[in-house]
Chains A and B, each alone.
Chain A
């Protein structure tokens, strides 16, 4: 047996001082040589713990083996058994707390770079135009409606089409992809090269997409049932922005993260004057929040030309929900972290645009309900600083449209749809999953819910017969 190699491959990335001024991808991907070297480090454990760490249970060693044996096409085939969107997951999954955390080499500080390898395989599929083999799939004559073309809806569609269902995905926006298109910025997830290609693969497999269709408005859930859909999967996400309800939050250039990122990503304001949709950020931008959305917003503001970008977060770095890698990237790029700081008020120019924000410093007390140490204000520590724009990235809530237009559909007190672990709601043949059930979570958890629901839909429709 060869000695354990702890020399973990590092994915090449753009230099911080360069990437802070462009929207090109930060990480540039493993070369075939690097990928093979990294694959060679895998111990191919008899009981691979990495698989337990993956919400969709990808057979990780199986696809790594194919990389090692120089069969990238076979690696694609193997990964697609469990995951229809590998190029996306390889980029945005928090592998460090999932598969890589469970890798036996993690104890030695050098887990296999599973995310980087997954991305390598996903990118190979796109570059080499490898389409899934659908030759054994027979149409079963039944129709499924999926509401929302974000990660959960896409995954569910990719599974159900393989079972032979006629799958139609309804999307409210003009562009497909949900949060993958409007939320996650270009420099972490390229739209043309990656998101569109993964969706095109699903189209090639036979999935139908209907953009501009706000379900609950153009068709309600009962109407979809009347239209002959045998089952419906609701995957509308949790895209309803939360505000702090502090004074001045309605001032001009105080954006929700959704608005800011939608303008920049979906409406392509990152292309500057070439975009029909405007954005104004000025020189000094404050982003409120500590999650990935806050980090995405801050780093986007920098790339749009801001001179100074602050992250304002009421807890300390240890409690930040953002991925460690994103925090590191943001720091390298020069984002100024104002930690243990709580916004109190936005102050206005005479014309109604934001001029400054007033904050108070915090300190950590005993753990609260979330298990994190509770931040409490330090008396007398209020201070002001000048800003030209602000982005409120403190989380989202459930969108009310589906719940309000679906008689009898159970929701919890926050408006999220009530569904069991298999995605079943209280209504027959109506399923739900992803953020609209769990509240804001990750792309991969939403995908996991989509995959589980697809299995349950298949089972329910077949046991009913």
Chain B
């Protein structure tokens, strides 16, 4: 059991949890994720790590309520406990000094992006950050990203904050003005695909972090298989980060919808 120390609603339906998990807190690096089960009979779900404090033994996760299991997780009270957490899982992000790095984050994808941006900055890269969301209310972690970003841009669908439009509109302008050495894009599949398509012609190295369905997260079940450069890869042990120019995003999007109907039934049954 893992104690839930604090919980904060940071955007509509988006929670930040601080959990006591001392062993994971020590080992976790940017890019890692965890698999958890809120209660003894819950589904296993993969979630991203936003921060950890090895000294305090805490692990912070951010998640959006999108289905029955995240709803169950969101219902846990402060002082309650999460039944199982396994991690840290996946390969950590490859961090080196590339030069100028652009971090593109959309929605809750901004959560795993924060530690990556921090690590890139610490390695001496110039970091440009672009955050996107439906509206001002859905933007998260702006104040955490500011200190590690040499420049920070915002795009919202409704223009309630920053530029009205998409993160790719901002990225297009940046690419046209200066030489970019690497881009890390994490967010909805359509966003990652759009970023990869935008940077492909220029051949700018573009890393994306994939969020397929997972069960065990250790390479055992194969549900997280993705097509990368025409080959079958398991996001849990081969990823979750891949070269965005090689990823078959359409296959990923389709596979993410696999249990949509079953999930809907479960959500309705729970109400």
B is a partner of A: yes
- CB-based contact B227/A399 at 8 Å: no
A278 to B42, CA, bound (A): 11
A212 to B218, CA, bound (A): 11
- B contact residues around A218 at 8 Å (CB): 23-24, 27, 87-88
- CB-based contact B237/A278 at 8 Å: no
A219 to B68, CA, bound (A): 32
A239-B220, A251-B254, A277-B44 known, 20 other contacts, Cβ within 8 Å:
A172-B86, A173-B86, A173-B216, A212-B84, A214-B86, A217-B89, A218-B24, A218-B87, A241-B220, A243-B222, A249-B232, A250-B251, A256-B221, A259-B215, A263-B215, A276-B68, A278-B266, A351-B257, A352-B254, A399-B218
Closest B residue, CB atoms, query A244? B232
A247 to B40, CA, bound (A): 38
- CB-based contact B266/A262 at 8 Å: no
Q: In B27-54, which residues have CB < 8 Å from any A CB? A: 27, 37, 41-44
A259 to B42, CA, bound (A): 17
Knowing A276-B43, A276-B266 are in contact, say whether A241-B222 is a contact too (CB < 8 A): yes
- CB-based contact A259/B89 at 8 Å: no
Which residues from chain A sit less than 8 Å from chain B, CB to CB? Answer: 172-174, 182, 211-214, 217-219, 239-241, 243, 245, 249-253, 255-256, 258-259, 262-263, 267-268, 273, 275-278, 280, 351-353, 399-401
- B contact residues around A250 at 8 Å (CB): 225-227, 232, 248, 251, 254-255
- B contact residues around A278 at 8 Å (CB): 259, 262-263, 266
Taking the closest CB of chain B, its distance from the CB of A262, in whole angstroms, is: 5
- B contact residues around A243 at 8 Å (CB): 222, 225, 232
| CB of B55 within 8 Å of the partner chain | no
- A contact residues around B69 at 8 Å (CB): 276
A241 to B236, CA, bound (A): 13
Q: Which of A217, A256, A259, A267 contacts B44 (CB 8 A)?
A: A267
| CB of B258 within 8 Å of the partner chain | yes
- B contact residues around A401 at 8 Å (CB): 218-219, 237
Which residues from chain B sit less than 8 Å from chain A, CB to CB? Answer: 23-24, 27, 37, 41-44, 68-69, 72, 83-89, 215-223, 225-227, 232, 237, 248, 251, 254-255, 257-259, 261-263, 266, 269
- B contact residues around A217 at 8 Å (CB): 27, 87-89
- B contact residues around A245 at 8 Å (CB): 232
A371 to B232, CA, bound (A): 30
- A contact residues around B27 at 8 Å (CB): 217-218
A259 to B219, CA, bound (A): 10
- A contact residues around B226 at 8 Å (CB): 250
- B contact residues around A353 at 8 Å (CB): 258
- A contact residues around B269 at 8 Å (CB): 273
- CB-based contact B223/A259 at 8 Å: yes
Taking the closest CB of chain A, its distance from the CB of B147, in whole angstroms, is: 29
- CB-based contact B219/A174 at 8 Å: no
A262 to B266, CA, bound (A): 19
A165 to B257, CA, bound (A): 49
Knowing A217-B89, A250-B251, A262-B215 are in contact, say whether A241-B237 is a contact too (CB < 8 A): no
Closest A residue, CB atoms, query B248? A250
Taking the closest CB of chain B, its distance from the CB of A378, in whole angstroms, is: 28
- A contact residues around B215 at 8 Å (CB): 259, 262-263, 267, 277
- CB-based contact A258/B23 at 8 Å: no
Q: Would you list 26 pairs from A and B whose C-beta atoms are within 8 A, ordered by A residue?
A: A172-B216, A172-B218, A173-B216, A174-B44, A174-B83, A214-B89, A219-B23, A243-B225, A243-B232, A250-B226, A250-B251, A250-B255, A252-B254, A252-B258, A256-B222, A258-B222, A259-B221, A267-B215, A275-B41, A276-B43, A276-B68, A280-B261, A351-B254, A399-B218, A399-B237, A401-B219
